[in-house]
Structure 1
Amino acid sequence: MKKRAGLQLVLVLALLPLLAGCWNSRELRDLAIVVGMGIDKAAGGEGYRLSFQIMNPGSSSLGAKGGGGGDANTISVYWAEDKSLFGALRKASQKVPRQLFFAHIQLLVIGEPLAKEGLRELFDFYERSHELRLNTPVLVSRGVDAKAVLNLTMPLEPSSALGNAKRIRNTSRVWAHNAEMEVTDIIKSLNRSGSMAISGIKIEGDRRKGGTKANLEKVELPAHAEIQGMALFKEGKWAGWADGTEARGLIRVLDKVKGTIVALPCGKQEDGISLEVIQSKTNVTYRMENGSPAFQIHVKEEGNLNEIRCPIDPSQRSEVVKLQKEWADAAKREIEKAVQGAQSRRSDYLGLDRIVESTDMKSWKSMEENWPSLFAEAKVEVSVETFIRRTGMRSTPYLLKK
């Protein structure tokens, strides 16, 4: 019995070091919870300005007032400048009374002037940190600096960082002129050619009032943020913007369309018919043709007829077939416009290089160094197949009866 008791004691003592402890615990009252971060060029042009949007724990930040952002003091924005990002982060300790905590960061915004200089140096710091989240959505500010985007107050949400993260998620799902891009996606692109597309964000209205309580007290907001366009990058540097149908064509090639609305002409109206795309699938194939790469982009989409503002009868099969043809032609034009834009910029943000690499590694190794030139001259064929699944609850439009 004594041997057994002694053995148990030794076993307990041996297991004690393995028990979890709180040796590195941090009290909530000592932390400043960062929900948004912005990176701009420093005011003097050399170095970086790092901005932090921080939740105020004593406010109605988490919906104490019904989930809205009714209190202008829900958030605070601090900033610091330094020649390095890590230096700016540590320098912020001179202004922030608590330790910055990044585990709940919702959004990263990059200023357009900084994007023009290049992103390669930014994400080394981001990837090395054990606190910063690699699944954080990223936006490029358009016409304003990143700090102005973080300063914006917003109804319905406790912080503009959280609101804008939801905004890019929602518009990617239902409109398809933008796509959600995370830090890890950008790092992967920078490790390759540096060609990519990141959604942009713009402030509409009076940006001076956007960071004040007045922006929450008006029925019509003096200033609001809007997800707008795709920032295009070549070798890690901003190379232009894609808007409208070109942006949607780009999203189609990337196979990121989850839903959108297609407007078709009808009679004298350019947008007399609205179709909702409910399913879209893109397949890209590669082949060598006369010693040069060639691609076939095939898109298959399904949708519903949602609105008719002209005298046609969708109960007639011939009318439905005609609409499907017009829809396919419109989608093809958008994709071709996106391809032409990418080839003219000599930047493969369409991701065709990944198709070559995964299909024919041997050929890719010989083409990789000269890919921008080869991509610019590559033959790209586009085909689109469409199908109208439903025409709605009403068979005959009012205009046709009239």
Structure 2
Amino acid sequence: MSKCKALCLLIILTILLSGCWSKRELNELAIVAALGIDKVDNEFDITVQVVIPGEISSKQPTSGRSPVITYHSKGATVFEAIRKMTTLTARKLYFSHLQIVVLGDELATEGIGKPLDLISRDHEFRNDFDVIVAHNATAEEVLNVLTPIEKVPANKMLNSLRTSEKSWGTTQSIKIDELISTLNNKETSVVMSAIEIHGDRSVGMEQTNVKKSKSTAVLKYAGLAVFKEDKYIGLLSEDESRSLSFLKDKIESTIETLTCPKGGTLSTEITHSKTKIKGKFKNGSPKINVSIDVNQNVGEVECDIDLTKEKSLQYVNKKTEELIKKRIEKTISTVQQNYRVDIFGFGEALHRTNPKEWKKIKKEWLTIFQELPVKVDVHVNTQGLGTMENSLVNKTEGE
């Protein structure tokens, strides 16, 4: 009797636990690589960049068509606009492979909180995609630009973002979950990478844009966008963006160019950077100390300097320290005076140091932040000189 019951239970479970009841075939889906959100009047204007699998396959020749197609529709909410897009697309939109979300300039200025609600809540959206903002452009215009090398423009935007972050330091990758968390954090303001279009935008959406050795329209990261609460208020310059990356301990590698004692320039490659931010209260007044330790290699020498001498290396170290310190101090001052929001995480540092004192100033933090004393110390160590000790240019000229 017990064997009969066990057999019946096994049969029932086999029927109920079938793994194919909710299957969706690839040829039934439109795979979305990028999503753009704009605000037009009182409606959300949604653009999706859908991959055409046959045009990016390496196993079959292309037909010469675009590797992606964009669709867009409007709605009172982001959810509504996406659903209305089914009247345009031949297949159901599939967002599980979404790589990047572009927020339009006008939308970002008005506020990004509401449009982000759906993509952070809906189960079809994973939390591993990046979010960027379009500078002086709409998200639709950005997603319409075709790119060389990377057939799918979403791949280009993502790869450029990560490569620049690792090798130059003017961009910062931010995932949707980190973005939502920072928006809900009253101590630190959001920054995210901004992208812009260089060249003729109308030609950028044509195939001719990728058939020339020099593209007519290109997508380029412009720096880091500053937000106050959920509103876009300004763009940091390239130098300011790098300074912020130093302060947030996000520099993996970058380049510094120094002036040599007798004229000419010398470039170094930062190979390691470690930043420590410590807050303290003195008689109830907050202060911040920033300590940055940097390792570098000499990358290029276009001046007369003998790098075999210890005195020369000390000069290179000192000049690099001064350059980084001066640029960071200028960036802090600019943000305090012009943007008046804490994008550096100084509030969090003070909170960690003394929660009791922080509680006293928390409500007035943005006002206090504008006059906050910040001391910056930079220590640089030059480790490598490359495969040559001195400049080949000067040797040749000496001969």
| TM-score of the aligned structures, taking structure 1 as reference length | 0.93
Residue 55 (structure 1) aligned with residue 48 (structure 2): no
Residue 180 (structure 1) aligned with residue 173 (structure 2): yes
1:83-122 alignment to 2 at 5 Å? 83-122=76-115
4+ residue runs over 6 A deviation: none
Indicate how the Cα distance of structure 1 residues 159 and 268 shifts in structure 2: closer, same or farther if over 3 A, else same. farther
User: Aligned match of 1:201 in 168, 192, 195?
Assistant: 195
Output the CA distance in 2 between the equivalents of 1:5 and 1:65. 55
The answer to whether the Cα contact below 8 Å between 1:72 and 1:212 also exists between their aligned partners in 2 is no
The answer to whether the Cα contact below 8 Å between 1:52 and 1:78 also exists between their aligned partners in 2 is yes
Q: Counterpart amino acid of 1:390?
A: G
The answer to whether the Cα contact below 8 Å between 1:36 and 1:54 also exists between their aligned partners in 2 is yes
Residue 292 (structure 1) aligned with residue 285 (structure 2): yes
The answer to whether the Cα contact below 8 Å between 2:49 and 2:70 also exists between their aligned partners in 1 is yes
Range with bigger deviation, 176-185 or 94-103: 176-185
Residue matched to 2:221: 227
How many angstroms does 1:378 deviate by? 1.5
The answer to whether the Cα contact below 8 Å between 2:286 and 2:372 also exists between their aligned partners in 1 is yes
Output the CA distance in 2 between the equivalents of 1:9 and 1:183. 47
Q: Counterpart amino acid of 1:292?
A: S
Residue matched to 1:213: 207
Residue 27 (structure 1) aligned with residue 25 (structure 2): yes
Range with bigger deviation, 20-29 or 200-209: 20-29
1:373-384 alignment to 2 at 5 Å? 373-384=367-378
User: Aligned match of 1:333 in 289, 304, 326?
Assistant: 326
Residue 240 (structure 1) aligned with residue 243 (structure 2): no
Q: Deviations over 1:28-62 (max 9, x none)?
A: 221110000111112xx2121110000113x3224
Q: Secondary structure at the match of 1:377?
A: coil
User: Aligned match of 1:395 in 356, 369, 389?
Assistant: 389
How many angstroms does 1:5 deviate by? 3.5
| Structure 2: stretches of 5+ with no match in the other structure | none
The answer to whether the Cα contact below 8 Å between 2:272 and 2:294 also exists between their aligned partners in 1 is yes
Q: Counterpart amino acid of 2:225?
A: A
The answer to whether the Cα contact below 8 Å between 1:174 and 1:259 also exists between their aligned partners in 2 is yes
Q: Deviations over 1:13-38 (max 9, x none)?
A: 46436735222211222111000011
Range with bigger deviation, 212-221 or 123-132: 123-132
Output the CA distance in 2 between the equivalents of 1:357 and 1:381. 18
The answer to whether the Cα contact below 8 Å between 1:49 and 1:82 also exists between their aligned partners in 2 is yes
Q: Deviations over 1:315-356 (max 9, x none)?
A: 111000011000011111121122112212210111222222
Q: Counterpart amino acid of 2:190?
A: M
Residue identity (%)? 30
RMSD: 1.9
Output the CA distance in 1 between the equivalents of 2:52 and 2:379. 51
Output the CA distance in 2 between the equivalents of 1:15 and 1:81. 45
Q: Secondary structure at the match of 1:322?
A: helix
Aligned length: 394
Residue matched to 2:42: 46
How many angstroms does 1:65 deviate by? 6.9
